[in-house]
Amino acid sequence: MRRCANPPLPLQQTTHLFKPTNLVVSKEAFRKYYVRAFISGVVCAAFILATGQSFGNDYSAPRLAGSDQPDINGIWQALNTANYDIERHMARPAMALREGPHGPVPAAAVVKLGAVGAVPGGMGILVDANGSPSTSGIPYTPEALEKKRENAAQWLDRDPEIKCYLPGVPRANYMPYPFQIIQNENAVFIAYEYAGAVRDVYFDNDVPAPVDSWMGQSDGYWEGDTLVIEVTGQLDSSWFDRAGNHHSGAIKVTERWTPTGPNHLHYEATIEDPETFTEPWTIAMPLYRRMEPNARLMDFKCVEFVEELMYGEWRRYPLDE
């Protein structure tokens, strides 16, 4: 089934690209793009009117034994570069950059990583009201946009992932690690490989989160074959990605998990946070089943791996720089 999708943006590679958000696009290309996007939008709207669905899906998943819920058990993983930057972005030399004599180069702290430390590009995971890839960025308030830029400039000091802190939602779902959904008639539990983060989805809860937490409180219900989870009570400390995209403690995330095939889920999350954004916005992506016969979550207790970073200076005999 044809999915509603805008034509790809006519990006041009430049050799001097310092600010990752400054995508360079010619005016002529943009004009053509918008004409094509408009036509695509009209076609898409007609399609939606015809089918009554914002997102084409005629797949009927197998039922969970003893229940009418679709079975979404399994090990899943996103396959995109959203953890680097959920917005559309081009490849760049490193997450931490400094000005070189002829353009940006990796910061001293990461230069030895070479190509391993480079950032792969990505088309971004924001979608518009039709579920089509969005042409605009995150609708930050001016102050919040300023903070995002500061975060990006201070990435090495500020990204909670660097310190192995719990990732929060939605970031946990598109980090480059698998996660496992353990679902029975009465429960959906999500165990993430990264940092051993966990979520226990409540289905019968009418009590607000008693205290804020890194992973928040997940309240779920089934809407047909879609698992809707409202995530509230998150701390303001987690980020959306390595690019410094952030939120406040007022964030509410409404996730929609829908099986679209035996080995695919469609994941969508709408972000509301009036303290940070001028309006709600939505991300979407497919999630893929890990198909290896021996697929499983491995230990990734990164707490141990960041001890040198966080406490190395307090060793009795600090290691050489």
Partner 1 sequence: MANGVDTHWTNDMNTHANTILLGLAALLTGSFATAEIPRTADGKPDMSGTYNVGTSTSMQRNRIFGDNRYMTEEQAERYARATQSFLQGRTSSDPDREAPPEGGDGSPGAAGNVGGYNAFWIPRDGTTSLGKKIPTSIIYEPENGRYPARTEESRNRMVRRYRNYRGNDGTAWWLENEGPGPYDDPELRPLAERCLLGFSSTSGPPMLPALYNNTKRIVQTADTVMILIEMNHDARIVRMNSEHVAPDVRKWMGDSIGYWEGDTLVIDTTNFADRPGLGGATRNLHVVERFTRTDESTLLYDFTVDDPTVWTQPWSGQYSWPATNERLYEYACHEGNYALGNILRGARILEADAIVAQGGE
**Binding residues for partner 1 (CB under 8 A):** 65-67, 73, 164-166, 180, 182-187, 189, 191, 196-198, 200, 202-205, 207, 210-211, 213-215, 237, 296-299, 301, 303-304, 307, 310-311, 314-317
279 vs 311, beta carbon nearer partner 1: 311
Least Å from the CB of residue 235 to partner 1: 9
What is the closest distance, in whole angstroms, from the C-beta atom of residue 181 to partner 1 in the complex?
10
Q: How far is the CB of 199 from partner 1 (least distance, A)?
A: 10
Which of 75, 125 has the CB closer to partner 1?
A: 75
Minimum CB distance to partner 1, residue 206 (Å): 9
Using CA atoms of 314, 318, 319, 321 in order, give the dihedral in degrees to the nearest 10: 80
Q: Contact 284/125 with Cβ under 8 angstroms?
A: yes
**Whole-number minimum distance, CB 75 to partner 1, in Å?**
10
- The number of residues making up the chain comes to 321
Q: Is the peptide bond before 176 cis (omega within 30 degrees of 0)?
A: no
C-beta closer to partner 1: residue 15 or 186: 186
Q: Give rounded-to-5 percent helix, strand, coil for the chain.
A: 20, 25, 50
The residue among 149 and 252 lying less far from partner 1, judged by its C-beta, is 252
Nearer to partner 1, 11 or 297 (CB): 297
Closer by beta carbon to partner 1, 126 or else 201: 201
Distance CA 284, CA 304 (A): 33
Q: Is 66 left (phi over 0), alpha (psi -120 to 50) or beta?
A: left
Q: How far is the CB of 182 from partner 1 (least distance, A)?
A: 4
Minimum CB distance to partner 1, residue 213 (Å): 4
Secondary structure (DSSP) of 253-271: EEEEEEEEETTEEEEEEEE
User: Under DSSP, is residue 249 helix (H, G, I), strand (E, B) or coil?
Assistant: coil
What are the C-alpha distances in Å from 132 to residues 1, 5, 310?
Answer: 14, 5, 41
Give phi and psi for 143, each to the nearest 5. Answer: -65, -40
Which one, 192 or 281, has the nearer CB to partner 1?
A: 192
Count of other CB atoms within 10 angstroms of residue 173:
24
